[in-house]
Structure 1
Amino acid sequence: MSHGDESHASAVVPGLAVEREGYQISDVNAPSAVGKDGTLTFRLTGPDGAAVTEYAAAHDKDLHLIVVRSDGAQFRHVHPTNDGDGSWSLPWRWSAAGSYRLFADFVPAPLGSNVVLTSTVSVAGELVPRQIPQDSTVATVGDFTVTLGGSLTAGTDADLTLSVRRGGVPVTTLEPYLGAYGHLVALREGDLGYLHVHPMGEPGDGRTQPGPDITFMAAPPTAGKYFLYLDFKVDGQVHTAEFAVTAHPDH
């Protein structure tokens, strides 16, 4: 997911702090246990301590909220409601226990560049951890098969192409979603560092086709395993394909 123009070689990896550029996330509340209906809320404040109320839309939204368990499972990409006083909220229900990371990804209008803030929520219940997945280049989501092409090298820009098929037939009817034909989030295994990923092209630019291929530019800051989550939209429904890939050292 990308909204900024930071140099990947020198920038601090986003998504590892509750404060950045003077902006902070606080007052995070959510249901405390699995199966309980409730509301997930949080508040954003700026360098002056006042609520953040002015945003510059990025990928068609003022704010993107990524929620994922610490082992990379239970990924959700949602768009809460701006309550107008710096607070954001949405109805919420946890389906699995564990420790979760929340990533608030937004562009404060006064700053004009992307900020990613994080917080942690613990969810009570019987924890069923998953094994860290092996590297995978094929994901199945319902009737869809998504294939990942390309490789990652630490500190180097790389193109990743994801190809969507349904029943073995290339899908050429991808629908615009968040300003592109797909939206890709990448998280570093372990600390869940948040990798900026840039979509290549956009609907209506005269050259980007609605499938089957969706291409992104990624620049992993370090070697190691990354979890990739592709959101794509077909027939009005958003689907999420998940992958694990290893970024190799830059020799």
Structure 2
Amino acid sequence: MNTAAKLGSYVLGLAVVFGGALGAGKAVGPVGTPPPEDHAAMTTMATPTAGPTASAGHGEHATEQAKNDTPGGLRVSENGYTLNPLTDAIKPGEPTDFRFTVTGPDNKPVTDYEVEHDKKLHLIVVSRDLGSFRHVHPEMTPDGVWSVKLTLPGAGAYRAFADFAPTGGSALTLGADLAVAGDYKPQALAQATRTATVDGYTVTLDGELTPGQSSRLTLKVSKDGKPVTDLQPYLGAYGHLVALRARDLAYLHVHPDGEPGDGKTKAGPEIVFYAEVPSTGDYRLFLDFQHDGEVRTADFTLGAGDRPAVPTPIPTSTPTPTPSGHGDDGHSH
């Protein structure tokens, strides 16, 4: 495995989190920390614990992430690389050809990327109330312009995360704000739950999120009351977990312990993840898994530490502007 959306009214409030490919990763910064476009300095709150190999996104780059003061996804630009959305008009519920570039230190679009988990770039788009989730995979033209058919369900503010590793450079997760025009009513964070249902499947989550410690999370997939033991590999794994901390914009990606074909990892019903969260708070988790040729997403809300997850109103504010150049090919929740 190689290393690797003006509004009538809307609100902000999203989330930040932890991650680890084949193990434990970490995010930093206290709950409620403003977006780093306005606050460049954030301090590390947790030290990685011993355990499986750490990673802060697709591929094995938690070490690079840990060196930064700011968690992945909070910056539109980092290490000379900048995420540049080229599409500035997105209508709710309508497929949009969403286009963007990633420019490098020479201010030119990057065209060479490492392949990580079967793709050169992974794009995740989440609404700031954490009710909508998209994980898609754009296609790139030779001149470095990425595009994907993207359908966002309603008006509001969204955050896009580009997860990639430029050839010869460190793996990065860059984030940019997107806006979908129209009236938007703030939604409370989904209630805490350890069971999710999607398309006839039931996914249960076992384990606790303990700030500053590597946490084992076990997700079990069943259908019609029977354990699913023939999960199919998707992007090189039996499951992919994205976790977002409420009220924050940091992002990291979690991958399971083990991989298909390693001689020890079973194809279900259990998918095991190791993750380290940096602080007490509310978290949203999105699990992608594939069965019968289709990728599905199960979602959960958990509280970390001594703070149980509860529905909370999303604060209203104006999103931080992000640079702009003036397809949905995946699955969604």
Scaled by the length of structure 1, the TM-score of the pair is 0.93
Which residue pairs with 2:164 in the alignment?
106
Percentage of identical aligned residues: 48
1:75 is the counterpart of 2:130: no
For 1:119, the aligned partner's letter is A
Q: Where does structure 2 lack aligned partners over 5 or more consecutive residues? A: 1-18, 20-56, 307-333
Which 4+ runs in 1 deviate beyond 3 A? 7-11
1:93 partnered with 2:93: no
Confirm or deny: 8 A CA contact 1:139 1:147 kept in the other structure. yes
Q: Which residue number in structure 2 is paired with residue 170 of structure 1?
A: 227
* Matching residue of 1:55: 113
Report if the CA contact (8 A) 2:65-2:72 is conserved.
no
CA distance in 1: counterparts of 2:114 and 2:65, whole angstroms: 22
* Conservation of the 8 A alpha-carbon contact between 2:131 and 2:190: no
Amino acid at match of 2:278: P
Q: Is the 8 A contact 1:16 1:192 kept in 2?
A: yes
C-alpha offsets along residues 12-43 of structure 1, whole Å, 9 cap, x if unaligned?
31110101121110133154321344310111
Counterpart Cα distance in 1 of 2:89 and 2:235: 28
Find 1:200's aligned residue among 241, 246, 257.
Answer: 257
Q: Using the alignment, how far apart are the partners of 1:199 and 1:172 within structure 2?
A: 16
CA contact (8 A) 1:155 1:222 kept: yes
Counterpart in the other structure of 2:302: 245
Query: How is 1:4-83 mapped onto 2 (pairs within 5 angstroms)?
Result: 4-6=61-63, 11=68, 12-83=70-141
Aligned partner of 2:101: which letter? R
Deviation at 1:175?
0.2
- Matched letter for residue 210 of structure 2: T
Deviation per residue, 1:87-128 (Å, 9 max, x gap): 1101233321100100000011111x3200011111012324
Partner of 1:126: 183
* CA deviation profile, 1:136-182 (whole Å, cap 9, x unmatched): 11101121000011111122111111000101110001000011001
Give aligned pairs, total. Answer: 248
Cα pair 1:30 1:92 within 8 Å, conserved: no
Q: Deviations over 1:205-238 (max 9, x none)?
A: 0000000000111111222111110000000000
The amino acid of 1:203's aligned partner reads P
Superposition CA RMSD, Å: 1.7
**Contact between 2:140 and 2:146, CA under 8 Å: does it hold in 1?**
yes
In 1: Cα distance, 2:135 partner to 2:195 partner: 21
Q: Which moved more, 1:10-19 or 1:143-152?
A: 10-19
Amino acid across the alignment from 2:108: A
Q: Is the 8 A contact 1:9 1:155 kept in 2?
A: no
- Look up the SS of the partner of 1:6 in the other structure: helix
Higher relative contact order (CA 8 A, sep 6+): 2
TM-score normalised according to structure 2 size: 0.71
Q: Specify the SS of the correspondent of 1:35.
A: coil
